[in-house]
Amino acid sequence: MPERNPAPADANASGAADSDQAEPPDTADPDEELLDEAAETFAILASPVRLQLLWHLARQPHDVSTLADLVDASVPAISQHLAKLRLADLVTANRDGKRQVYSLDDPHIATLVEQAIDHHRQLREGS
């Protein structure tokens, strides 16, 4: 009886490749430019107000007034934070009538913010 070759690791039960699976992250060492860009992202995230804005925007889009209410800050202050987040390509803005509605569309940034906050929640709980 001939020996069957096992299906490749990325194959589904029928032996066909599963194209819906996400590719693993690139494991090559990052170059200096990539490290600088990542450091710039962390610098933008170093503001508690910006982290709070991203936390809310990861859940749903909001306009400036709503965000100001959510983080208990002035509209001009929130506008300045949002401008920095937009320049860093971390949030997008779309016009809805007279309002600018901001959203966080990058799942990497949403995950990064959520994991940082969850990490510190667990530290507080002693886990």
Q: Could you tell me the residue range of the domain that residue 79 belongs to?
A: 49-125
Global pTM value? 0.75
Express each pLDDT in 46-80 by its tens digit: 999 999 999 999 999 999 999 999 999 999 999 99
Round to whole Å and give the CA distance between 36 and 123: 28
Asked if residue 15 belongs to a domain, the reply is: no
Asked if residue 43 belongs to a domain, the reply is: no
Q: What's the domain count of the chain?
A: 1
Asked if residue 25 belongs to a domain, the reply is: no
pLDDT at residue 22, as a whole number: 53
Asked if residue 14 belongs to a domain, the reply is: no
Which CATH number do you get for residue 61?
1.10.10.10
Per-residue pLDDT tens digits of the chain, which is 127 residues long:
444 444 444 444 444 444 445 556 778 899 999 999 999 999 999 999 999 999 999 999 999 999 999 999 999 999 999 999 999 999 999 999 999 999 999 999 999 999 999 999 999 998 6
Query: Hey, what are 98's tokens?
Result: 């007279």
Round to whole Å and give the CA distance between 107 and 27: 19
Secondary structure letter of residue 15 according to DSSP: S
